[in-house]
C-alpha cells in the first residue's frame, strides 16, 4: 500500500507541475509579445533509436472491420443518419429523459469540471465504430514526442482522414456537423462554431500522455470517446483529472464512455500508462471543438474585452493575437484612451489566466 500511495502521490504532483509549466510558458510568451510557435521535440524519435516516421500509403477502404457486413447493424445506422448527423440523434436517449440531466452536464462543464457520460451513445453506433478500430486493417502510425519542458507522449493515431474507412468518416461527421457544433456550444457556452478536429487513437503497453491542458490554438471543448471493450481499470490507460481529489480523479477507459471538458489554462489532465498485462486494446476517438472568432481591430474586440465571461473564454490563439494587435504600431488603435482600455483588459486577462 505504501508503494502504491507513493506512486499515486507522485502522479498527482506531476500533473500539477505540468499544469504550472504550461501556464508559466504561455505567460512568458505573452509577456514578451512574441508570436507563439509550437516547440519542437527536444529529441526526435529517430535520434532516440525508434527509427524514422512511418509513411503510410493511401489505403482508404470502405470498411476497416473484418468479416462480412452486418446488414442489421448497417440498416440501424442508416436509419439514424436519415434523421440527421447531429450528435443528439446518436447519443443514448436516456440522457434526454430527464431535462435536469443535461442541465447538470452543462452547469458542470461551464464550471470547469470534467463530465463523464457512461453508455453515452446508442449501442449500434458504439459497436460499429469499435469494430472499425479493432481491425487489423487500421493504418496506425506512432505518435511519439519528447519536449524540453518534460512533457512526452507515446501512442498510435491515424490523423489523415483520407486513410479512414467510410464508416469512421461518418462517425467523425457526427462530431463535426454544424448541428453538433451548435448544440455543444449552447451546452457549454463556448464558441464551438470553428473547425472540429478528431482522430482515432490506440494505446499499447507502456503508452501514455503526460500532464497537459490542451489549451492550444482555437480549442474550446475537448471530447474523448472510449471504445475499449472488456477493458479493466488495473490495465491503466485512464483519464486522470488533476483538479479532482485523488480518490475521484481517475476515470477508467470504459467502453462507450464519453469524457467532456472545457479547455482552459487549468484543464490539466493526463493518460495513465498502459500496463504490460493488458489483454484488450485501449481504443478511443477523441478531438476538440474550436472557436471560429479571430480577433481584429474592430468593435467586436472592444465588446469581448469588456465582458468578463467572454474574456475568460479566450483561446490561446485569440489571446496571443490580441497581444500582437496591441503591440503592433501599424494597427494605429485610436483614440489613445481606447488602446489604454484594451491593454488594461489584456493585462487583467493575463493575471486571471496566469496568477503571479
Mean pLDDT over 4-32 rounds to 42
Mean pLDDT over 164-173 rounds to 96
Q: What is the CATH number of domain 71-290?
A: 2.60.120.620
Angle between helices 71-82 and 123-133 (to 10 degrees): 120
For residue 60, the model assigns a pLDDT of: 53
pLDDT tens digits for 291-313?
Answer: 999 999 999 999 999 999 999 99
Q: What is the 3-state secondary structure (H, E, C) of the chain?
A: CHHHHHHHHHHHHHHHHHHHHHHHHHHHHHHHCCCCCCCCCCCCCCCCCCCCCCCCCCCCCCCCCCCCCCHHHHHHHHHHHHCCCCHHHCECHHHHCCHHHHHHHHHHHHCCCCEEECCCECHHHHHHHHHHHCCCCCCCEEEEEECCCCCEEEEEECCCHHHCCHHHHHHHHHHHCHHHHHHHHHHHCCCCCCCCEEEEEEECCCCEEEEECCCCCCEEEEEEEECCCCCCHHHCCCEEECCCCHHHCEECCCCCEEEEEECCCCCCEEECCCCCCCCCCEEEEEEEEECCCCCCCCHHHHHHHHCHHHHHCCCHHHHHHHHHHHHCHHHCCCCHHHHHHHHHHHHHHHHHHCCC
Q: Is the pLDDT of residue 34 over 70?
A: no
Mean pLDDT over 177-195 rounds to 98
Q: Is the pLDDT of residue 148 over 50?
A: yes
Q: How confident is the model at residue 66 (pLDDT cuts 50, 70, 90)?
A: confident
20 compared with 340, residue with greater pLDDT: 340
Domains in the chain: boundaries: 2-38+294-353, 71-290
Asked if 92 and 119 touch (Cβ cutoff 8 Å), the reply is yes
- Distance from C-alpha of 83 to C-alpha of 44, rounded to nearest angstrom: 47
For residue 96, the model assigns a pLDDT of: 95
Q: What are phi and psi of 245, to 5 degrees?
A: -60, 145
Q: How confident is the model at residue 72 (pLDDT cuts 50, 70, 90)?
A: very high
Mean pLDDT over 156-175 rounds to 96
Q: Is the pLDDT of residue 55 over 80?
A: no
Q: What are phi and psi of 231, to 5 degrees?
A: -75, 140
Q: How confident is the model at residue 36 (pLDDT cuts 50, 70, 90)?
A: very low
For residue 356, the model assigns a pLDDT of: 86
- On average, the pLDDT of the chain sits at 86
155 compared with 61, residue with greater pLDDT: 155
Amino acid at each position: 500500500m505504501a508503494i502504491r500511495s507513493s506512486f499515486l502521490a507522485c502522479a498527482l504532483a506531476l500533473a500539477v507541475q505540468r499544469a504550472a509549466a504550461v501556464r508559466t510558458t504561455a505567460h512568458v510568451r505573452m509577456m514578451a509579445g512574441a508570436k507563439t510557435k509550437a516547440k519542437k521535440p527536444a529529441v526526435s524519435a529517430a535520434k532516440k533509436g525508434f527509427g524514422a516516421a512511418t509513411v503510410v500509403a493511401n489505403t482508404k477502404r470502405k470498411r476497416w472491420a473484418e468479416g462480412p457486413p452486418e446488414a442489421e447493424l448497417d440498416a440501424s445506422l442508416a436509419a439514424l443518419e436519415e434523421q440527421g448527423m447531429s450528435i443528439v440523434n446518436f447519443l443514448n436517449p436516456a440522457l434526454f429523459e430527464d431535462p435536469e440531466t443535461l442541465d447538470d452536464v452543462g452547469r458542470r462543464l461551464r464550471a470547469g469540471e470534467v463530465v463523464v457520460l457512461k453508455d453515452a451513445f446508442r449501442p449500434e453506433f458504439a459497436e460499429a465504430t469499435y469494430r472499425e478500430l479493432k481491425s487489423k486493417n487500421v493504418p496506425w502510425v506512432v505518435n511519439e514526442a519528447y519536449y524540453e519542458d518534460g512533457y512526452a507522449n507515446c501512442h498510435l493515431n491515424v490523423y489523415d482522414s483520407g486513410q479512414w474507412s467510410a464508416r469512421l468518416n461518418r462517425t467523425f461527421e457526427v462530431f463535426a456537423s454544424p448541428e453538433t457544433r451548435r448544440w455543444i456550444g449552447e451546452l457549454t457556452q463556448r464558441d464551438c462554431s470553428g473547425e472540429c478536429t478528431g482522430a482515432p487513437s490506440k494505446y499499447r503497453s507502456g503508452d501514455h500522455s503526460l500532464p497537459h491542458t490542451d489549451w492550444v490554438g482555437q480549442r474550446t471543448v475537448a471530447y474523448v470517446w472510449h471504445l475499449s471493450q472488456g477493458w479493466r481499470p488495473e490495465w491503466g490507460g485512464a483519464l486522470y483529472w488533476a483538479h479532482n481529489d485523488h480518490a475521484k480523479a481517475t476515470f477508467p477507459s470504459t467502453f462507450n464512455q464519453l469524457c467532456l471538458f472545457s479547455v482552459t489554462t487549468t484543464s490539466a489532465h493526463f493518460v495513465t500508462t498502459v500496463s504490460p498485462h493488458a489483454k484488450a486494446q485501449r481504443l478511443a476517438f477523441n478531438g476538440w471543438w474550436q472557436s471560429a472568432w479571430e480577433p481584429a481591430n474592430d468593435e467586436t474586440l472592444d465588446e469581448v474585452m469588456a465582458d468578463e465571461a467572454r474574456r475568460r473564454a479566450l483561446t490561446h490563439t485569440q489571446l496571443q493575437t490580441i497581444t500582437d494587435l496591441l503591440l503592433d504600431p501599424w494597427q494605429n488603435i485610436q483614440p489613445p484612451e481606447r488602446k489604454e482600455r484594451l491593454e488594461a483588459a489584456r493585462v487583467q486577462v493575463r493575471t486571471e489566466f496566469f496568477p503571479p
